[in-house]
Structure 1
Amino acid sequence: MKETEGSLNVWVDGSFSNGAGIGVVIDDGKKKRVYKKSVQAKTNNQAEYLSAIFALKKIKQIFGKNVKNFTVKVHSDSQLLVSQMLGKWKIKDDDIKDLFIELHNLTLDFKKVDFIHVPRKENKLADKLSKAR
């Protein structure tokens, strides 16, 4: 049996207005899956990380073992999240460090995970979902 290879585009956003929330859009080219969820976060940056963690966990839940053959492009308007995941910025906050480690470890389950910084206007759906609780 041939294992499935795939490419996914994911848009993530975290919000910290009126409580913390995340919005996630997973697009496999055939189907868009959208998620919104309230989360326990002390800052907007924590919510941003939690959105990416949620997205990769959800992909693993949907596609199972096949994710080891998947390339995932994570689009985020968080310069902090993207720059830290790319190793460009240092992590100074201990809470963020723990989330970084969790997210980094999740990326190891995939063939490749790219983090891409996008302008907020290109992340409208995930942004809207993150605020709709």
Structure 2
Amino acid sequence: MAKLVVHVDGGARGNPGPAAAAAVLSEPGGEVVDEAAEVLGEATNNVAEYRGLLLGLRRARELGATEVEVVNDSQLVARQVGGEYKVKHAAMKPLHAEAMALLGGFEAWSIRSVPRAQNARADELVNAALDGA
């Protein structure tokens, strides 16, 4: 499996509040090959977004992907990982560092943010995790 498209999301109800992260991995043609979600406990929305990214990257590596196209609905995370923004918040620095280390394990990677509607399945998984489904 060479390339995977990795849709990731994270969310907190309240900020901070109960939080969850999710990832949906698919082949470039759109066939979903893996989905995962995890409840994070108390976290901020931005921390949850990073945790979704980490979850997706770990799953992609486990599936043997050599290239990932990360899609999320957090402009902040996409711009920090893409190098446009600096990571200033102390709680996000180690998450950013871990994401960059994981991304370094792939031959190629990209990240972009899209409107939430284009990240609907990952968003659904986050909400299902928060609802206890």
| Structure 2: distance between partners of 1:14 and 1:39 | 9
> What is the percent sequence identity of the aligned residues?
31
Indicate if the aligned counterparts of 2:6 and 2:60 stay in contact, CA closer than 8 A. no
The more displaced of 10-19 and 119-128 is 10-19
| Structure 1: distance between partners of 2:44 and 2:68 | 26
Name the structure 2 match of 1:39. 40
What's the secondary structure of 2:91's corresponding residue?
Answer: helix
TM alignment of 1:40-59, pairs within 5 A:
40-59=41-60
Higher strand share: 2
Is 2:6 aligned against 1:7?
Answer: no
Indicate if the aligned counterparts of 1:74 and 1:116 stay in contact, CA closer than 8 A. yes
Unaligned runs of 5+ in 1: none
Name the structure 1 match of 2:18. 19
Counterpart residue identity of residue 59, structure 1: A
Give how far 1:94 is off: 1.0
| Structure 2: distance between partners of 1:22 and 1:13 | 6
Counterpart residue identity of residue 56, structure 2: A
Indicate if the aligned counterparts of 2:9 and 2:72 stay in contact, CA closer than 8 A. yes
Structure 1 segments (4+ residues) deviating >6 Å = none
- TM-score, normalization by structure 2: 0.86
